[in-house]
Homo-oligomer: A and B are copies of this chain.
Amino acid sequence: MAASANTPIRIGIVGYGNLGHGVELALAHNADMRLAGIYTRRDPATVQPQGASAAVHRVGDLPAHAGAIDVLILCGGSKDDLPLQSPALARHFNLVDSFDTHPRIPEHFAAVDRAAKAGQTSALISTGWDPGLFSIQRVMAEALLPDGDTYTFWGKGVSQGHSDALRHVPGVAGGVQYTVPVEAAIEQVRSGTRPRLSTRQKHTRECYVVLKPGADADAVRQAIVAMPAYFAEYDTTVHFISAEELKRDHAAMPHGGFVIRSGHSSKAAKHVMEFSLKLDSNPEFTAGILVAYARAVWRLHQAGQFGAKTVLDVPPALLSPHDGAELRRRLL
């Protein structure tokens, strides 16, 4: 089932923003895969790939290239791109996406499943680290330790959704929002006491904001901290900085988080399982996950497993370029 070194898996990247750049970078670390092409909605002449040899095409060229691509990695956004692209492309291509709007996963799964079954393709949705690696931890930990509680903490890291929200506040010229887990809450969870924690007790939010000329700082601060759904339920701090500081100190995209399950096997015996990530670059790390799952999708397709899949349906061995015998010998 392992891909032969002589016939690399041919990958197409759809969408060439931060995540698409990351996928191109990650492919260079995976000798059994090859970048077949980058597909963009922009004019290909205006897109400069990092790798000199990468070909850039229009998204509209995809149907004509179907025979030259084994798996597409979709790098668009969950709000506007993936709900349309994934079902449309799953009709004709194996694919991986990182759809991360949690409440809409069931409908996205259903739409992609219909298309993939009709087209006899394999399409894995919602991979990355959350949803993705964190989901695997949540499912496994609950199954292994049924009498327990699972806690997910995010950060410290940049939340794109919250950053977008604060940029829409009148008087704001630019800004970035960091989600920060409360250290004391993590320690409480790690102790195995299974605390009940409110939203406010788990995370704080830190905003770095550049004001528009003449904007009223107090009014902007009030508008941010009172914003329902995004900030009102949290202790939110707003720092005003210059455009230069924003560019210099806040351009990186670090992130991370923790999934902790604490539970009991008997009255006397408690256990704590913890999975954590500390990432310098959220898009580059996420890209590495998409690439490994593209390998798994190709193998599922070759095994005739058509339809929509998630990370919960993928055996760990399918992610590795190495075969079962080597994995058992070296890593089991």
Contact = CB atoms under 8 A, between A and B. Distances in A.
Contacts of A131: 332
Interface of A: 22, 25-26, 29-30, 102, 105-106, 109, 126, 131, 133, 135-136, 138-140, 142-147, 190, 192, 265-266, 268-281, 284-285, 287-289, 292, 295, 310-317, 319-321, 324-325, 327-329, 331-332
Contacts of A143: 292, 295, 319-321
A313 B144 CA distance: 17
Contacts of A314: 315-316
Contacts of A329: 105-106
B316 A139 contact: yes
Contacts of A287: 265
A265 B22 CA distance: 8
B332 A126 contact: yes
A275 B276 CA distance: 6
Nearest to A309: B315
B266 A271 contact: no
A63 to B, nearest CB: 29
A140 B30 contact: no
A332 B105 contact: yes
B271 A285 contact: yes
Given A29-B146, A106-B328, A272 B281 contact: no
A246 B139 CA distance: 39
Given A266-B284, A274-B275, A331-B138, A313 B319 contact: no
Given A25-B266, A26-B265, A278 B285 contact: no
Nearest to A130: B332
Contacts of A147: 29
B274 A140 contact: no
A312 B313 contact: no
Given A266-B281, A270-B280, A274-B277, 17 more contacts: A30-B146, A106-B325, A133-B144, A135-B332, A143-B295, A265-B285, A268-B280, A269-B285, A273-B276, A274-B275, A274-B278, A310-B328, A311-B332, A312-B316, A312-B328, A312-B332, A313-B315
Given A147-B29, A265-B22, A278 B272 contact: yes
A271 B265 contact: no
Contacts of A280: 268-271
A317 to B, nearest CB: 4
Contacts of A325: 106
